Amino acid sequence: RGVFYVLSPVVDIARDPRWGRIEETFGEDPYLVSEMGVAAVEGLQGPGKFERLPPNHVFATLKHFTGHGQPDSGTNAGPSEASERELRENFFPPFRAVIERTSVGAVMPSYNEIDGVPSHSNTWLRGKVLRGEWGFDGLISSDYNGVDQLASLHHVAADNAEAARMALLAGVDSELPEGEAYATLAGQVDAGKVDPALIDRACARVLTFKMRAGLF
């Protein structure tokens, strides 16, 4: 069909049985989820590390980064009251294992927030941990409507334009599904509200992703 990129697998650990998306996960144990995650990514992409996507394979997406499986009251997209130790001991390991053992193509932020910071605007999660500590060099794509939810759900942005600025600064390279918030970025660059270097960074990652997929 020509598809080269899929939004799978889910490597959230499930820690609250009330959570409505628990059936999407591989379970509650970080080690089990890590191994299942690696196997799923290798099944989609092919084994090991590579620079170019092998023929008849598709890039995988790790989701949802992170703390998604332990929301307040079990409510999907609710805040996750997880300490950094809890994150590092339980929620981070499946993502880190896949990133270190495969060439996984993409990572998707989660809908929730940690310590009041939504994942789609969390510079620490993506800048320091994901790209800094773990050396991830692939694509970061938003969850569906995750960028505009910075305004409509989390209320940390006044509107879609501010939401786009926050997500772009935090390293979200591509907005799914329609890109309504990111559609404001060109005008914001013209108005001097967005540094063109941030646009260049995101575009370079998207183009590199397409090159690695063999689209050019």
Catalytic annotation, residues: 143
**Rounded CA separation 81/41 (Å):** 29
Q: Which of 65, 78, 61, 66 is nearest to 20 (CA)?
A: 78
Residue 101 tokens, joined: 């053992």
